[in-house]
Amino acid sequence: MKKHCILSMFIFSLLITGCGFVQTSDKLIPPSESTGSIRINLVEMINSKILLPDIDMGVVLYDVVGTGPGKSTFEAYDLYASTYINNSVPLGKWDIQVYGKNSEGIIIGSGQAEAVISENKLIAIDISIIPIAGTGTLNLTINWHAKDLFIPSIEADLISSKGDSTDLEFLIEGGNQGTCSLSGIMTGYYILTAKLLDNGIVTMGAVEMVRITSDQITDGTYDFYLLNKPEETIEVNIVQEMAEPIEVSISGLKTSITASEEMTVSASVLPDDGPVVFVWYINGGSVETGDTYRINGFDEGFYRLDVTVFSVDGSKGGSETFTFEVNDSG
């Protein structure tokens, strides 16, 4: 289960001059002796996919606000072009704030920089727009067939990029569904691990990267309709840290193998995302690290294979999943 959305980071490149000329659209504009010029170029840098809240995270409009010497200010709102130019900026120190808006006009990111405008000098400044800090809400639903479990329970954790873990408490309703709602979660990316148990024994599990956004709700639903009998499952511990999303793919997959058959799977990412660290999971439990995992010796049953990946510097991460069956019936 994955949701797709555009997560954008933008760099504002500021070119600021004092006395002199600024070339714009092949036209030279002479500022006065007491003012300078500012040019802001907008360049989109990153897009990615991840389990996201139901809000457009693509920046399409920009607000630019400058505060300078003697309480001087300049303001520009709802910019959509790739360049903004102001040729009447008083000389001195300036604080520049930039706000990014999505298609609905909601501010979803901001950035700040300081610049000093002086005579006959040209400087360039980059302002990175980052998501608005705050807290958000995570809503989760896990479904299964009531007849498959006698004493159902759910174990789930939300793991931050620093390795801090938060237990998620689920309410079991109707014998076939568990729900959880947790608010006040700091914005950022987390690893979600969830296990469905019967009488304390794991029957199925899942691992997924989740993003929390300020004042927004992230929803996730898992349908665990292919379960293993308690005597046919394994349970292992999970230790993981997350980073920002990376697109990861798995090769060597088979939808069905026998108990004596071996399946070797490999995970890969785009060259620009390396170096990275891979962690493999079976039914919510960690089983292997590295870009390759050899699967053999499992009892008959259904298994969910998850792989998570994060960059060595911890700046980004991602996940992918696949379900297969071990079957000796031919």
> Does the fold of domain 135-326 match that of domain 9-131?
yes
Q: Give the pLDDT band (50/70/90) at residue 285.
A: very high
Q: Say what the pLDDT of residue 83 is.
A: 66
> Which is more confidently placed, 229 or 297?
297
- Rg of the Cα atoms in the chain: 26
| pLDDT (tens digit per residue) in 148-164 | 999 999 999 999 888 89
**Is the confidence at residue 265, as pLDDT, over 70?**
yes
**Is the confidence at residue 107, as pLDDT, over 50?**
yes
**Is the confidence at residue 16, as pLDDT, over 70?**
no
Q: Say what the pLDDT of residue 128 is.
A: 79
Q: Which CATH superfamily includes the segment(s) 135-326?
A: Immunoglobulins (2.60.40.10)
Alpha-carbon distance of 16 to 122, in angstroms, equals: 6
Closest CA to 53 of 111, 132, 110, 127: 132
> What are the tokens at 316?
């980004």
**Is the confidence at residue 307, as pLDDT, over 60?**
yes
Alpha-carbon distance of 38 to 327, in angstroms, equals: 68
The residue to which tokens 């501010």 are assigned? 107
CA distances from 138 to 19, 58, 102, 156, 250 (A): 53, 21, 21, 12, 28
Q: Say what the pLDDT of residue 76 is.
A: 87
Q: Give the pLDDT band (50/70/90) at residue 314.
A: low
Closest CA to 132 of 210, 64, 212: 212
Residue 25: partners with Cβ closer than 8 Å, 6 or more residues away: none
With the CA atoms of 101, 134, 245 and 52 taken in that order, what torsion angle do they form, in degrees rounded to the nearest 10?
A: -70
> What are the tokens at 268?
């890969």
CA angle 51–55–56, rounded 5-degree value:
100
pLDDT averaged over every residue in the chain: 79
Q: Say what the pLDDT of residue 325 is.
A: 93
Q: Say what the pLDDT of residue 99 is.
A: 87
Closest CA to 320 of 255, 265, 241, 239: 265
Q: Which CATH superfamily includes the segment(s) 9-131?
A: Immunoglobulins (2.60.40.10)
Q: Say what the pLDDT of residue 209 is.
A: 87
Instruction: Tell me what the mean pLDDT of segment 62-78 comes to.
Output: 89
- The Cβ-side half-sphere exposure at 226, using a 13 Å CA radius, reads 12
Q: Say what the pLDDT of residue 55 is.
A: 73
> Which is more confidently placed, 121 or 30?
121
Q: Give the pLDDT band (50/70/90) at residue 273.
A: confident
312: burial class by Cβ within 10 Å (0-12, 13-18, 19+)?
exposed
> Which is more confidently placed, 131 or 164?
164
Q: Give the pLDDT band (50/70/90) at residue 37.
A: low
> What are the tokens at 101?
């808006």
Evaluate the CA torsion angle 257, 259, 262, 263 in order and state its sign. Answer: positive
> Which is more confidently placed, 86 or 163?
163
Instruction: Find the range with the poorest average confidence among 194-208, 211-225, 295-309, 316-330.
Output: 316-330
Q: Say what the pLDDT of residue 169 is.
A: 96
Q: Give the pLDDT band (50/70/90) at residue 172.
A: very high
- The domains of the chain are located at 9-131, 135-326
**Is the confidence at residue 32, as pLDDT, over 50?**
no
Establish whether the linkage from the previous residue to 230 is cis, with ω within 30° of 0: no
Q: Say what the pLDDT of residue 7 is.
A: 34
Alpha-carbon distance of 130 to 112, in angstroms, equals: 10
Alpha-carbon distance of 29 to 43, in angstroms, equals: 24
In this structure, are strands 317-326 and 256-257 parallel, antiparallel, or unpaired? parallel
Instruction: Tell me what the mean pLDDT of segment 30-48 comes to.
Output: 52
Alpha-carbon distance of 14 to 39, in angstroms, equals: 6
| pLDDT (tens digit per residue) in 201-260 | 999 999 988 888 888 999 989 999 988 865 544 444 443 333 347 888 999 999 999 988
Q: What is the DSSP string of 8-22?
A: -EEEEEEEEESSS-E
- DSSP bridge partners of 97: 65, 112
Closest CA to 199 of 166, 259, 153, 244: 153
Q: Say what the pLDDT of residue 319 is.
A: 87
**Is the confidence at residue 267, as pLDDT, over 50?**
yes
